[in-house]
Structure 1
Amino acid sequence: MTTTSQFLVQKDNIREGRIDTREVPPLGDGAVLARIDHFALTANNVTYGVMGDRIGYWKFFPVESEGEGVIPVWGFAEIVESAHPEVPVGERIYGFFPMASHLVMQPAKVSEGRFVDGAQHRAGLPPVYNSYTRVGAEPDYDGDLDDAHMVLFPLYATSFCIYDFMQDHDWYGASQVVVLSASSKTAIGCAYAIAADASAPRSVGVTSPRNVASVEKLGLYDEVLTYDSLDDIDASIPTVIIDMSGDGGVLGRLHDHLGDSMKYTSNVGVTHYDANTMPPGFIRERSEMFFAPGHIQKRHKEWGPGVFEKRAHDFWKDTALKSRDWLTIHREQGDGAVKQAWSAVAMGKTPADEAWVVGF
């Protein structure tokens, strides 16, 4: 009998967590058991926890204990047991997993390059999270990029979605885009896309004083400011905001400063989730939570099968290679490493130019 470990957090306080160990039940017909070898932990996973109820992230990997949940992660796994004729033992896959050592899956819609986890409780959840890549079928697979894939692909895929969304809406007529939490990896991905597009608005990155030097060194934003310099942003020109912070105080001040020039705010992340309550100055009627899977489904209908995936993959690979110049990834193994990494990420103590890849 296989023993599995998973990291459970308190839903109302995701900083608090514990490791739960139990035996994996025997596989049913058509099921497989995946051993998760490594996964990334970034601020993206904090967003999954904070939005667990609103968007449904707790539903992917439900647990029996009341008030607790498993944070979803992106990582690699190997099939170690199989009762499915098309998914053999030894198959290596990439995708959306629980923060755990194992996952029982029910492969469906199996093709040469991927399959879907057809577990009944996942049927109504966004398809992008239920699809798993069969690594051996990738024509340009590069194992040296595995850690970068875990850390950056989910973030830069979102970056590409945000950029594509804004471009699709003609940047709401803006001639300036303000990116909050400009040192975050998803923000940097957006900055790569904007900097490569000569027709995009000028970009202003806003970050904390401790990150100014590293953000300026990237050379991606036209201007870098700190949160106490919001009044230096030109309020006379139409502006869109890409918000990675979820900091209500900052957004309220910025909306109040820009007034009618604030054409649209895309709320993407909640890196400052402790300050997530929006004040009276926040302009709700021109703000909207950005949900990448919804944009991906829209593009699937408009572009056809596989087109979005190829464009996002090409963007990710190009920017991941560029990101080697500034990103340090810490790879660790064991229960203690998982606890340490999650504490650092959930408490906001991981420097912007670092990331974690861990496994049980």
Structure 2
Amino acid sequence: MPEFQIRKDHFLTNRLIETPETEQIPAIVEGEVVVKIDRFSFTANNITYAAAGDQLGYWQFFPPSGENTTDWGVIPVWGFADVVESRAEGIPVGERLFGYFPPASYLKMLPVGVSEQRLIDGAPHRSTLPPGYNSYSRVAAEPGYDSSMDNERMLLWPLHITSFCLWDALQEKDWYGARQVVILSASSKTSIGLAYALDADPDAPPVIAVTSERNLDFVGKLGLYRQCVSYDDLAAIDADVPTVIVDMSGNGEVLGRLHSRLDDNMMFCINVGLTHWDEAAPGEGVNKQRSEFFFAPGHIQKRMKEWGPAGFASRSSTFMRETTLKCRSWLRLKDVEGLDGLAGVYPDVCEGRVAPDEGIIVKL
């Protein structure tokens, strides 16, 4: 099976590379394992990895195979894989892992920090990258592991862990003194996860959803927002109320208009995603002094130090279970076969044409 690659300077351009390296199980030395990727999710979040690939190091996780790779990169994905070769003590063939993988057949790993439920890929080229992305769950050892939830887990976990961290960060800052929360790109699954958290929190301010005209009906039917407005109707938002913005869109023009409208009542803006990556240039009117990029892995590390790994896992896992069950009322899973199938749906993901209630699962 080939490896899916994209042009780092033009995300829409993609290719499938087939070489002996991608087709054959890689040779390994003592201490290494090879996993065969079984399935993974693919969402707008993966395009965010590409958009921030140079700034945050996402291109470094999985160097592209083949020749003439200078301008090409491999977008990381979240999914499940099975160990097919092992020369690492305590990691048997057949072990199933959940974590960060390339959209490809195989991945060679160097397990370190191995515990009953977790291992770290200690490959040298990953040593300086965010630790959370190098950690893999040994799912068979998880209490209550339910394989029937694998698809929802790989689709929602990478998104809703950010939702959980955003909610926690907003609480910690006492909502930045705001009396309303405005979420841009409110139809995204990360936004919906945050909205579930805020809706269940009696201390949270009311939430306003901003989304595209075509997604207004879907967002409104979720029943999570006090008000739903389109990008063209920002004047409907009460500018006299102190406001904190959570921006999942990265649309500089919309953000500039909203900052200007709120003026001094724009208490703070948390920049998270780039669902509108092609409109991500800074917009006129953006208050940069009251804006900050939110990096979920950094917040996770902070809370793990303060709460301990077990404490963080307990709190976040409870949240994830609850939001996943809530999402079942509207989420439709779409199975795509192989990397050829991924190549077929990739333009729709890249250009934001995937319906908000749809989740793409790629089976290899």
For the pair 1:285 / 2:289, whether they are aligned, the reply is: yes
Cα deviation digits, residues 305-328 of structure 1 (max 9, x gap): 221122111111111111011010
1:80-99 matches, within 5 Å, as 80-99=84-103
Distance 2:218 2:237 in 1: 20
Distance 1:33 1:343 in 2: 30
2:34 aligns with 33
For the pair 1:9 / 2:10, whether they are aligned, the reply is: no
1:69-148 matches, within 5 Å, as 69-148=73-152
Classify the secondary structure of the residue corresponding to 2:18.
Answer: strand
How many residue pairs match? The answer is: 357
Distance 1:275 1:335 in 2: 28
1:328 aligns with one of 328, 332, 339: 332
Classify the secondary structure of the residue corresponding to 2:255.
Answer: helix
For the pair 1:258 / 2:259, whether they are aligned, the reply is: no
Q: CA deviation at 1:332?
A: 1.9
Q: CA deviation at 1:22?
A: 2.3
1:269 aligns with 273
Could you tell me which amino acid in structure 1 is paired with residue 131 of structure 2? P
2:360 aligns with 356
1:286-325 matches, within 5 Å, as 286-325=290-329
Q: CA deviation at 1:243?
A: 0.4
Query: CA RMSD, aligned part only?
Result: 1.0
* Contact 2:180/2:206 (8 A) holds in 1: yes
Distance 1:257 1:46 in 2: 29
Distance 1:332 1:279 in 2: 37
Q: Which stretches of structure 1, 4 residues or more, deviate above 6 A after TM superposition?
A: none
Distance 2:148 2:222 in 1: 23
1:158-177 matches, within 5 Å, as 158-177=162-181
Gaps of 5+ in 1: none
1:57 aligns with 58
Identity of aligned residues (%): 51
* Contact 1:157/1:316 (8 A) holds in 2: yes
Q: CA deviation at 1:63?
A: 2.5
TM-score where L is the length of structure 2: 0.96
Classify the secondary structure of the residue corresponding to 1:306.
Answer: helix
Distance 2:83 2:273 in 1: 32
1:42 aligns with 43
Could you tell me which amino acid in structure 2 is paired with residue 10 of structure 1? R
Classify the secondary structure of the residue corresponding to 2:19.
Answer: strand
1:241 aligns with one of 230, 238, 245: 245
Classify the secondary structure of the residue corresponding to 1:80.
Answer: strand
Cα deviation digits, residues 187-238 of structure 1 (max 9, x gap): 0000000000011011000111111111111001111111111111111111
Distance 2:9 2:314 in 1: 38
TM-score where L is the length of structure 1: 0.97
Could you tell me which amino acid in structure 1 is paired with residue 37 of structure 2? I
* Contact 1:41/1:341 (8 A) holds in 2: no
Shifted more, 45-54 versus 209-218: the winner is 209-218
Shifted more, 216-225 versus 62-71: the winner is 62-71
1:342 aligns with one of 338, 342, 346: 346
1:213 aligns with 217
Classify the secondary structure of the residue corresponding to 1:36.
Answer: strand
Distance 1:335 1:249 in 2: 35
Classify the secondary structure of the residue corresponding to 1:103.
Answer: strand
Q: CA deviation at 1:122?
A: 0.6
Could you tell me which amino acid in structure 1 is paired with residue 164 of structure 2? F
Could you tell me which amino acid in structure 1 is paired with residue 188 of structure 2? S
